[in-house]
Amino acid sequence: MKLNVNIKLTRGMDAPEYASENAAAVDLRAALEENETVTIAPGDRAKIPTGVAISPERNDVVAILAGRSGHGLKNGVTLANGIGVIDSDYRGEISVVLINHGSEPFAVKRGDRIAQMMFVPVYTAAFLPVDELDETERGAGGFGHTGVK
C-alpha cells in the first residue's frame, strides 16, 4: 500500500529512502552542520534535527519514529521517549531526541542515520461511559501476572 506524503526538505538534506524493497520504515538522518558533531554523554539526551517536514495525503495516518536497532544494541542509544508520534497535522521539522543508556559517549555527525519513520493507520476512539466492562478470561490481570515462561 502506498501513501503520498508531501515533504519539505531543509538544511540541505535529501529525501529519506527505504533501505530495501520491503523495508517498513525509512531512515532519518542527522541534519547537523557540515563539521558539527553532537556528542551524547552516558545518561544524557540530545535533540537532533532531520531537515524533514511532512504532510501526508490522509489524516487517518500517523508517522511513528523508532530507534535504530544497531544503535540500541551496540551503543545503548535509543529514542528518549520510546517512540515518536508525528501527527498528520504537524508541519514542523521532525527532530529526534536520542538518549545514551550506554557507558561510552556517542557521537552524531551530519548524515548519520539516527531513527526510522513508518506510517501506520490511526483509529480515534469514541469513549462510551458504562458502569461495567465485559468479562474476559484475563480480567484485570497485568504486570506479568501470566509469568515469564
Question: Strands across the sheet with 77-79, in order?
Answer: 45-49, 95-100, 77-79
Tens digit of each residue's pLDDT (9 = 90 or more) over 58-68? 999 999 999 99
Q: What are phi and psi of 112, to 5 degrees?
A: -65, 140
Tens digit of each residue's pLDDT (9 = 90 or more) over 17-68? 999 999 999 999 999 999 999 999 999 999 999 999 999 999 999 999 999 9
pLDDT at 145: 74
Which neighbouring-strand residues pair with 120?
A: 62
Which 3 state secondary structure label does DSSP give 47? strand
Residue 9 DSSP symbol: E
Which 3 state secondary structure label does DSSP give 32? coil
Residue listed under C-alpha cell 551530519: 110
